[in-house]
Structure formats: C-alpha cells, structure tokens
Structure 1
C-alpha cells in the first residue's frame, strides 16, 4: 500500500512537532503562520472603539494561533490556514469580551433589535423595514439608525461561544469535520446551510452586497464604501442590520435543533 502524504504545506515540520514533539518545529510553525494573526486582527479592528489597541488584538490572536497549532490534526490533509483563522478570530473576540469592551447598555440594545427582527420577520414572513422595526422598538428612525451605529462593533460572533450558556458545546463543534459524520449531523448541517441561504435571500439588496463583499470577497468596510458609493458609517449600519437579521434566523434554528 502506498503511503500518501497529505497535501499540507510544511508537512515535515508538522510531523516533527506532532509525532516527535519537537518544540523547535512548533516554534517554526507559529512563526510561519504569524501573518495570519496580523491579517485576522486587522479585519476585526475595523470599526472597533479607539480604546482597543492593535497590540491587544495581536496578543489575543497569537494565543489563538498557538492553540490552533497544538490542536490541528495535520494528517487529515485539511488547510491549516482556514482552521487557524477561525481559532485566531475566536480567541480575539473572546479576549475582548473578557475585557468587557462593549458597554452592557449597547449589548442590551443589540439584543432588543435582534429580537425585533426575529419576531417581526417570523410574523410577517418577509423582510421588515426600518420603519416597522422603529415602531416596534418605539423609537424614531433616526434613533434606530443611531442604535445601529452604536452596536456595529457587537455584530462579531465568536465560534468559541457556547451554543447554550449552561453547556460547553460551541458553534465550532458544528463546523469541525470529524472523520465520520453520523446521519443526524449531516441532516443538521444541511438544514443549517439551507436556513442560512434562505435568510440571506431575505436580506435587502444592499445588505446582501455588503455581506458578500465583506465575508466572501474579503473587502474592508472602507473599501466596500467606495465600491457602493456610500459612507463607511452607512456600510457599518447595513452590516449590523444584516448580522442582526441572520442572528434572529439562527436563534430560531438553535431553538428548533437544540430544544427538542
């Protein structure tokens, strides 16, 4: 039988670290993938308050990178860059949350808007307007837009956040590709993708464009503003609304999946 080597960059270094326990190999891997920390932290820094330093983001990110190097299974032939990016992102967001960088009042506003989208869109079975959300929240449309601007920095979601507060299972556990998926996992994964696809279709045209350019084309919010000929603050609002709509859909999915 031919022993095929997984298609993975720096395979020999991975083998030295994972099989031989070489600390030098581990350090080499960390140094090799350090640019990932700068890339991920740079994207997350967009729109964050000025009191959040890039040095803090980098420190959190390095911890995520180290964790990724320690936990990655190099023999499965997966792309380490993708896995590490998620781990780095999760570590940065978790580090920020532990530092309580978002005021409680802002989090409460985000929760109220998310619940408003969830209830109204479930009631009307369509995309609701800013006017309808404002009426539901009993605020003016200008006040609603200001709320969106305030909560723009809270629309980041950590995959290391527990699905339910009292349990340790995280969103990451839904994404990790185990060696063999059981039928229930496959059905749930398919349903989640279908749910997200339908949710994205219900976004407004501008919201879909922002989501596509930010998450798939990997443009910054300022770059998206140039593409769409809108102000960065307007792009930030569109991004916030899109994330709140999608969170509402995922909240319903979570209840259906985990409360049965």
Structure 2
C-alpha cells in the first residue's frame, strides 16, 4: 500500500518541477529543512567556539535551496543524499571563508598524511601508528595526541584539511558513506567507485576497517563503537582520523598510490 505522505511529497515535487510554483518550492524546503540542522551539527562538531552554529545553518539552508532547485526526480536518485552533499558543500564554503583551522593543525595534518603515504609506498600496506611515529621522530602517544587534535575538528572538517578548497573529488566521508553520492552520473562510474573504495577499505588494518564499518554503515556513535571495542571515545576518534587519512592517500590522491 503506497505511503500517503510519500505520495503527497512526490506530487509536490512533480508540481514544482512542472510549474516552478513558489509555494511548492517553499513546501519542499520546509519538509527537508531538518537535514540542514543534522548536517550542520555533524560538520560543526568540535569546531572552535568562534564558529557560530547559526552561520553554518544559514549557509546550509542555501545549499538545501540550491539542491531543491537543481534536483531532477526523474533520474531516480534519492533527494536526501543529493541534498546532504549540497548542504555540506555550502557549509564548507562558509568555513573556508572563516579560515578557522589553526595553521599548526593544517601543517601537522599534512605532515602525517605525507608520512603515511611514503610509508605505504615503502611497505605496500597501511603503516602502523608506531611506524608513522618513528618516521616523524615522535612518540606514538604524541602521534595519537595529534590525531586526536585533528579529529576534534570534526570528520567533515578532516576532509577539508586533507584536500583544502578542492571539490571535484568529493568528500572522503561522503565517499565512504555512499560511493555513488559524489557523482551519480552513470552506473559504470558508480560501480568502479564502489569497487575501488571497497578495496581500499578492505586493505586497512582490522580495527580501522571495523571503526569505519560501524560508524558509516551500521550507524553507531563514537561512544558506542568505543564500548564495542572496549576503548575510549577519544581513541576511536584517533583511529578514525588515521583511517580516513590512509583512504585519502590510497583512493583520492593518485600521486600517493
């Protein structure tokens, strides 16, 4: 039996796309507005206090409006996935303008990324924390502190640190959550993306792979994952940060392969 609410929503989409009616447009924006607060909350998690959450919501709303205007229902893609990417993009644009990430954190992130890439090329596998720390001439505890500092900035913020200002490759966290989301242009491209990402994830160490699986695919919170693995939430943040850096090197950055 068809869902009456979904049927009404489908009719609203059809009416707006056929007529451009402003009331239908406003109705769609209102219906999907909770997405903005959800995305702004995830992006804003861990950001400095000087970053106003309301500014992120305002920017995200512009992304939602853009998504409603440009979405093509007849292509068969899920609007929520499309909208979340637009909303994230608009919020990241706002964050870039604010230049909110401390320079020391940017430099440290790049150093860790480059070191991991060099070690992976050398060993043909994901390096351990001990190996990365040794190559950087720091202790493993210090490396974990650095990873924790990076993780506190938020998971979507990590994407921006790893590839600042560039949008064409898509967010790493978006790619993990939905490999087809960044470029829903064709079945072949989607399948190639899915296979390549799955291969990259499968080559991660067991614990890193498990953290990504539980967070992105099973929907567990960081605290819940910590309980499953019997470690602290902050430790899960460190593991996640290292895993995403490794995936960025393998999957997004051809120069590091």
TM-score, length basis structure 2: 0.81
Q: Which residue of 2 aligns with 1:65?
A: 64
- Encode CA deviations 1:193-219: one digit per residue, 9 max, x unaligned: 333222212222221122112211223
Is the aligned partner of 1:232 residue 2:233? yes
How far residue 249 of structure 1 moved from its aligned partner, in angstroms, is 0.5
Residues matched between the structures, number: 242
Q: Which residue of 1 aligns with 2:10?
A: 11
Q: Describe how 1:172-187 pairs up with structure 2 within 5 A.
A: 175-178=182-185, 181=186, 186=188
How far residue 168 of structure 1 moved from its aligned partner, in angstroms, is 7.7
How far residue 227 of structure 1 moved from its aligned partner, in angstroms, is 3.2
Is contact 2:113–2:246 with CA below 8 Å preserved after alignment?
Answer: yes
Q: Describe how 1:127-206 pairs up with structure 2 within 5 A.
A: 127-152=126-151, 153=153, 155-156=155-156, 169-171=168-170, 175-178=182-185, 181=186, 186=188, 189-206=190-207
Unaligned runs of 5+ in 2: 1-5, 172-179
How far residue 159 of structure 1 moved from its aligned partner, in angstroms, is 8.8
CA distance in 2, matches of 1:189, 1:141: 38
How far residue 106 of structure 1 moved from its aligned partner, in angstroms, is 0.7
Structure with greater helix share of residues = 2
Q: Which residue of 2 aligns with 1:223?
A: 224
Is contact 1:195–1:253 with CA below 8 Å preserved after alignment?
Answer: no
How far residue 110 of structure 1 moved from its aligned partner, in angstroms, is 0.9
Q: Which residue of 1 aligns with 2:111?
A: 112
TM-score, length basis structure 1: 0.80
Greater shift, 203-212 or 106-115, is seen at 203-212
Q: Which residue of 1 aligns with 2:210?
A: 209
Is contact 1:86–1:159 with CA below 8 Å preserved after alignment?
Answer: no
- Encode CA deviations 1:197-252: one digit per residue, 9 max, x unaligned: 22212222221122112211223323323333322211110110011111110244
CA distance in 1, matches of 2:150, 2:164: 22
Q: Describe how 1:36-75 pairs up with structure 2 within 5 A.
A: 36-75=35-74
Unaligned runs of 5+ in 1: 1-6
Question: CA RMSD for the aligned pairs?
Answer: 3.1
Change in Cα spacing, 1:57 to 1:8, as seen in structure 2 (3 Å) is farther
